[in-house]
A and B are shown apart, each in its own frame.
Chain A
Amino acid sequence: MKRLLMHSPITVAALWILVYLLITLFPLMVLLLYPPPAQGFWIDFSVALGFIGLSMMVLQFVLTARVNRIESSYGIDILLQFHRYTSLVAFVMVLAHPIILFIGQPETLQLLNFPQAPWRARLAVLGTLAFLTMVMTTIWRKPLQIPYEPWRASHTILAVLAVGLGFGHAIGVGNYLGLFWKVVLWSGMILFALWLILYVRLIKPWLMMKKPYVVEEILPQRGDVWILALRPLGHEGFTFHPGQFAWLTLNITPFSMREHPFSMSSSGDHADRIEFGIKEIGDFTKRIKDYQPGTRAYLDGPYGVFTIDRYWDSAGFVLIAGGVGITPIYSILLTAAERQDDRPFLLIYAAPTWEEITYREAIEDLKKLLHLTVVYVLRQAQDDWQGDTGYVDRELLAKYIPLHRGSRHYFVCAAPVMMDAVEKALFELEVPVTNVHMEHFNLA
C-alpha cells in the first residue's frame, strides 16, 4: 500500500506541494511569535505578502539548483515551468506589497522619492527593479534578442540582487525583523540560497573538473546531426537510465558555465563510451563538427525522468519522436535491445524527408532484436512512398496506438509545436495523463 502510494504521481505531487507551502509559510508564521505592534489589517496583509514573496524567491534557488531528488520526481522541464509560474506569483506579491501600502497610507508614497528616501526604501525600489528586469528579460528574451548564455548569467546576478536587496529592505524596516533571532532565521534562509548559487557555480564545476572526458570521435548522421562520442578519462564514467540527458561543456573550463543539455543517445549500460546526437541549429551546435578527437569535455549528469526504466510494469511502450527528438528514444531502444526486453515497442517517427531520418539504418537493424514496429511520418515524400505523410495528429495516432490505451506508457520528444499537438491528441484519445511523458528540448 505504502509503495503504491509513493509511486502514485498524484501523491508525490501533493507531498511536494505541501512541503513547498510549509517552507514558504514557516518563516512568516515565525514572525508572529513576540510580534511588533499591529499596523492594521491591510498593512500587515501587505507586509505578509512581501515576506511570502521573499521566501518564494529563496525557494527558486532550490528549484533551479538541479537538486536530483526534486528533479527525479518530475523532470527539468516541469520544474522550470513551475519555477516560471511561481516566480510570477512571487513578483505579483512583491508588487502588491507597496501598492497596498500606498493605498492604505498615501503619505508613504514619499518613499518613492529616491534621492530623499531612507535606505530601506531605496533598497526596496532597487530590489523590485532587479526583479522586474529579471521577469521582463525572461518573458521577452527572444523578442529582445538576448542570447541564451548572457541571459542565463544576468538571470543569476539579478536573482541574487533581488533577494539580497529585498532582505536588506526587510531588515532596514526592522519591524517584523526587529528581534535578533528572527534576523538570524531569515539570514539562514538567504545564506542557504547563496550557498546553492556557490554550489552550482563553483563546487559543482570543481567536482566536474576532477572527472574529465575526451572526444573519441565525431561522426555525421542523417538530418544535420553529429554523433559526439566521449570517453571518460581516468575514471569510470557513468551509466544512466536510457532517455536521460547531461549538461555538456566542451573545450572550455566548467567554471565558465557555458554548458548545453543533450540527451545521451548511446546505451545506458555502457559507462565507457557516452554518445550524443547533436543537431546543428545555433552557435554551439554548428561548431561540433570542427572539434578534434582528444578535445576535453565535461559532463554534469545524468538527469531527467524521460526513461522507460521507471515503468518496469508497463506492458509496452509507444515512442513518438520528431526530428532530433529521436536521440533519447534511440537510446531507449538500443538499451532495450541489449537488455533483451521482449515487450512491444511502437515508434512513431516524424521527419522532413526519407533522407533526413536520423539513425534510420540503426533503427531498421533494431527491428531484428526487438518487438519493434516503426511508423515513419514524412513531411515531404516522394511519389513512390507508401507510408504516412503529413503531421502526427489525432487520426494517425488513433490508427496505431493500442486500443487499451492505459496498457502502455507514451514518450514524446519533438519540436514544441509537435509536442503540444501530440499531447492534446493523446488526451483526446483518452490516454491517461499520467502515462504520457515528454522531453522538451527548448527550456528557455
Chain B
Amino acid sequence: MRYSIMLQIVTGMTIILLGAAGLFAWLQNRTPAVKPIGAPSASIAIGSQV
C-alpha cells in the first residue's frame, strides 16, 4: 500500500520533471517578441533556429 502510494508520487514527480525539461527546451527555443537591436549573437541564434 505504502509502496503503491509512493509509486504514484514518483510518477507525479516524473511528470513534473518532464514538464520542466519541456519548459527548459521551450524557453530556449521561443522566438523573442522583439528582437533587440545589437543583441548578442546568442539571442539572434535562438530566433533564427526556431
Contact = CB atoms under 8 A, between A and B. Distances in A.
User: Do A and B bind?
Assistant: yes
A37 B45 contact: yes
Query: Per DSSP, are chain A's interface residues mostly helix, strand or loop, or mixed?
Result: helix
B15 to A, nearest CB: 10
Interface in B3-50: 3, 5-7, 9-10, 13-14, 16-18, 20-22, 24-29, 41-42, 45-46, 49-50
B10 A35 contact: no
A38 to B, nearest CB: 4
Contacts of A43: 25
Nearest to A28: B24
A82 B6 contact: yes
**Which residue among A24, A32, A85 has the maximum number of chain B CB atoms within 10 Å of its CB?**
A85
A260 interface: no
B20 A48 contact: yes
Contacts of A48: 20-22, 24-25
A44 interface: yes
Interface stretch (A13-21, A203-211, A285-293): A13-21
A32 B27 contact: yes
Nearest to A39: B49
Interface of A: 13, 17, 20-21, 24-25, 28-29, 31-32, 34-45, 47-49, 52, 78, 81-82, 85-86, 89, 93, 423-424, 427, 433, 436, 438
A41 B24 contact: no
A396 B4 CA distance: 24
A81 B9 CA distance: 12
A47 B6 CA distance: 27
A14 to B, nearest CB: 10
Contacts of A20: 13
B10 A44 contact: no
30 contacts: A24-B17, A25-B20, A28-B20, A28-B21, A29-B24, A32-B24, A32-B28, A35-B28, A35-B42, A36-B42, A38-B28, A38-B29, A38-B49, A39-B28, A40-B49, A41-B29, A44-B25, A45-B21, A45-B24, A48-B21, A52-B17, A52-B21, A82-B6, A82-B10, A86-B10, A433-B1, A433-B2, A433-B5, A436-B2, A438-B2
Given A38-B29, A39-B49, A21 B17 contact: yes
B2 A85 contact: no
A85 B22 CA distance: 22
Contacts of A31: 24
Nearest to B24: A48
Given A28-B24, A52-B20, A89-B17, A40 B29 contact: yes
Given A28-B21, A85-B10, A423-B1, 10 more contacts: A17-B9, A21-B17, A37-B41, A37-B46, A38-B50, A45-B22, A48-B24, A49-B18, A85-B7, A89-B17
Contact of B28 (A13, A17, A44): A44
Contacts of B3: 81
Give 5 nearest A-B pairs by CB, closest first: A37-B45, A48-B21, A44-B25, A45-B25, A48-B24
A225 B16 CA distance: 47
A29 B20 CA distance: 9
A433 B3 CA distance: 11
Contacts of A13: 9
B6 A49 contact: no
A398 B16 CA distance: 40
Contacts of B16: 21
Contacts of A32: 24, 27-28
A381 to B, nearest CB: 30
B7 to A, nearest CB: 6
Given A32-B28, A37-B45, A45-B22, A21 B13 contact: yes
A44 B9 CA distance: 26
B29 to A, nearest CB: 5
A56 to B, nearest CB: 8
